[in-house]
Amino acid sequence: RLFSYVSPELLSRPTFSRLLALLDNYEPRTGRDEEETAEEQQEQKEFLDAALDTPLLALLERFVLRKGLYPSAAAFRADLHSMWFGLYSRSGGKALDSSGFEHVFHGEVKKGSVLGCHNWVQLQALERAGRLEYLGYTWDGPWTSFPDVLSLQFRWDGHSKPRGSLLVGSSPEFDLALFTLCFLTRPDSQCRISLGGEGATIQTYTWEKQRLVASAYPLTP
């Protein structure tokens, strides 16, 4: 197994519980429209509100306003929702079947292969449900505490992810803040950071040069 134990108390915290509530909203297979109900849109809002209520997102908000990237906190918050939850097509325009959040935090399946799925909370939920087959890791970072960086391979409902990388043990707001920061300041390029005193690199991509997240994840050797 990938996870021997995950604290239920941790998963009950506001950002974790609201992230988990979002994860059953998505159709992983591309080519099928994502239908967002009013309830699901409310869950998106509740997740972002919970994240924005943390010191990490408050710090990011102050940073982007101080740098003049946004004229107001309201403008930043609106763009945060748009860049992560704005829908686009990974099926050549056949369907609005993807978003930055779905790709990074949930994962997708295209032609039998897993795309994205760069979030450990999703992986532990899939493993707990008996839907994840962990096939081992290809790189484990130098970190001896969390957050850590891991490159691994797995199958999700029989669909293969030959290699994927993610932060392990981080909070949802940490991933959201870090990926958003790199997306805004180093889009479509490598974003070098210091994580617990060790160097790490985050790669982000925009969707067709729009202000929509296509992907975000830690690079590994």
How many other CB atoms are there within 10 angstroms of residue 153's CB atom? 16
**pTM of the prediction?**
0.97
Task: For residue 207, report the phi and psi dihedrals to the nearest 5 degrees.
Answer: -90, 110
The gap from C-alpha 89 to its chain's centroid, in whole angstroms, comes to 18
So where are the chain's domains? 8-219
Q: For position 51, what pLDDT does the model report? A: 98
Q: For position 163, what pLDDT does the model report? A: 96
Pairing of β 148-156 and β 213-218: unpaired
Q: For position 6, what pLDDT does the model report? A: 97
Q: For position 5, what pLDDT does the model report? A: 96
C-alpha 79/C-alpha 64 separation (Å) is: 12
| Tokens coding 59 | 């710090």
Active-site residue set: 103, 118, 161
C-alpha 195/C-alpha 213 separation (Å) is: 22
| Tokens coding 79 | 């763009």
C-alpha 169/C-alpha 218 separation (Å) is: 14
- Does residue 102 contact residue 86 with C-beta atoms inside 8 Å? no
- Which of these, 129, 109, 103, lies nearest to 216 by C-alpha position? 103
One pLDDT digit (tens) per residue for the chain, 221 residues: 999 999 999 999 999 999 999 999 999 999 999 999 999 999 999 999 999 999 999 999 999 999 999 999 999 999 999 999 999 999 999 999 999 999 999 999 999 999 999 999 999 999 999 999 999 999 999 999 999 999 999 999 999 999 999 999 999 999 999 999 999 999 999 999 999 999 999 999 999 989 999 999 999 99
DSSP 8-state code for residue 1: -
